Amino acid sequence: MGWFFKFTGSSIGRKFIMAITGGFLIIFLIIHLIGNFTLFIGPEAFNGYVSTLDVIKPLIRLIELVLLAAFVLHIYDGIILWFENRKARPVRYKVNASSENSTFSSRWMFWIGSLIFIFLVLHLATFFYRFNFYDPEGYANKNQYF
């Protein structure tokens, strides 16, 4: 088991964890998007989707915990890798032609991740919290969600 912790503590191991957690989060977003697209099919389809989610609620709660762990690991490893990279080269390059030596995605990764994080916080505050902890209009007690 010592090799596992040694690997996950290394730079390559952290990048591997970033890739695995990032891929998992993307897969979740795609599944979530497909489920929400049932709104365009009609109210019956969306209500059926929500009812199905209600039936498998214990599994959903487990997936939510795994998602939280994936987010925390992804963000933590990203920050640690950033600091390690800064520490490895404390003197910055005099000329940084970033458009020539890096991809658009890598240059904008921090900003895109920040936007996704802000959206996630707003999304959870608007939907997750309201439907799970604060329900002033009684939506959670009705069988119709749309």
Residue 68 near residue 75 (C-beta atoms within 8 A)? no
Assess if residue 110 is contained within a domain: yes
30 vs 25: CA distance, rounded Å: 9
pLDDT for the residue numbered 90: 80
Total tally of structural domains belonging to the chain:
1
Assess if residue 120 is contained within a domain: yes
pLDDT for the residue numbered 57: 87
pLDDT for the residue numbered 146: 47
Side chain identity at 61, as an amino acid letter? Answer: R
pLDDT for the residue numbered 91: 83
CB-facing half-sphere around the CA of 47: CA atoms within 13 A: 9
Assess if residue 96 is contained within a domain: no
Assess if residue 98 is contained within a domain: no
| Low-confidence stretches of the chain (pLDDT beneath 70) | 134-146
Assess if residue 97 is contained within a domain: no
Assess if residue 99 is contained within a domain: no
Assess if residue 74 is contained within a domain: yes
pLDDT for the residue numbered 140: 52
pLDDT for the residue numbered 37: 92
Each residue's pLDDT tens digit, 31-60:
989 998 998 999 899 889 988 988 998 998
Side chain identity at 1, as an amino acid letter? Answer: M
Assess if residue 23 is contained within a domain: yes
pLDDT for the residue numbered 138: 56
pLDDT for the residue numbered 11: 87
100 vs 67: CA distance, rounded Å: 35
Q: Which domain holds residue 14?
A: 2-90+104-141
pLDDT for the residue numbered 143: 52
